[in-house]
Amino acid sequence: MAQAVKTSITELCFRFIKKYFIITMGVFVTAFALETFLIPNSVIDGGIIGVSMIISHITKWNLGLIIILLNLPFVLLAYSKMGIKFVLQTLYACVVLAFALNVFSGYSATHESFLATVFGGIILGVGVGLILKSEASLDGTEMLSLIVSKKFGCSVGEFIMGINLFIYLAAGLVFSWESSMYSILTYFIASKVIDVVLEGFNSSKSVRIISDDAGAIGNELIDKLDISVTYLKGIGGYSGMDKDLIYCVVSRLELPKMLEIVKDIDTKAFVSIVDVHETYGGRFKKHV
């Protein structure tokens, strides 16, 4: 019993350290993108960071401090919905960002706006993606959108889009319309990279197979592909007859072989294939 408790505490400590390490790494990557690519070329991010960059440019106040001050009310507002864990991790990320921005302040990787937009967007997306994956955030507008969207009937995406449209219009007035257009491109690139970080490059495939020979197909999949399969029970909508369904997850490389096995056994089998970005546990783990 004592050994089990000790092991459990060790695992919790490891998870805690790992999570905060990833948040810290994501914050430093984000700060690097902002200070060495975007800020020297008057290109901004969306959300609270974008607003902070505009205010910092006008007032010459410290960017990190502005980000903390603007995010603070939204973080506290998110407490009831996201919980104390999220609030503490987000506050930690904002404080570390303020420090990291000062570390990279004054450095510039390039003065070519297009290169700064593309590579700044990619690096920014990696950093923010790591932070989001660790259940923290640097953008108070996303937290606000969860509350506003329900009260006014708009979607979270629509609210964020509206806020960012206002921010990029302001960027056009403060910097230049060319900078505003580069900023929109940066946001687009960063959002796509964030999706990759959160969902992964190598998406597996979730497969459902309906066949009168489900048992034979399942046995062949287990034997030839060494994968786990699950049998589900269903009822045909037209026939009203009982049907056996096979559920399994395969990699993209295994998919053609799986389809070949199915066709060899039952040419009339119905196969449904859906993208799966992450799987946990069992023998699916090898496909992550």
Burial-class residue 101 by CB neighbours within 10 Å (0-12, 13-18, 19+): buried
Integer Cα distance of 236 and 255 in angstroms: 26
Write the pLDDT tens digit of every residue in 93-145: 999 999 999 999 888 988 999 999 999 999 999 999 899 888 888 888 777 77
What are the tokens at 159?
């609210």
Burial-class residue 41 by CB neighbours within 10 Å (0-12, 13-18, 19+): buried
Integer Cα distance of 166 and 171 in angstroms: 9
Q: Which of 279, 269, 270 is nearest to 249 (CA)?
A: 279
Integer Cα distance of 108 and 178 in angstroms: 19
Global pTM reads 0.74
Write the pLDDT tens digit of every residue in 41-68: 999 988 899 999 999 999 989 999 999 9
Mean pLDDT of the region 166-179 = 90
> Residue 247: beta bridge partners?
208, 230
Confidence of residue 285 (pLDDT cuts 50, 70, 90): very low
| Amino acid making up residue 130 | L
Confidence of residue 196 (pLDDT cuts 50, 70, 90): confident
Domain 204-287 has CATH 3.30.70.120: yes
Q: Which of 286, 284, 268 is nearest to 207 (CA)?
A: 284
For the chain, domain boundaries: 2-199, 204-287
pLDDT at residue 283 is higher than 60: no
User: What is the separation, in whole angstroms, between the first and last Cα of the chain?
Assistant: 33
- The lowest-confidence range among 175-179, 210-214, 218-222, 251-255 is 251-255
| Amino acid making up residue 38 | L
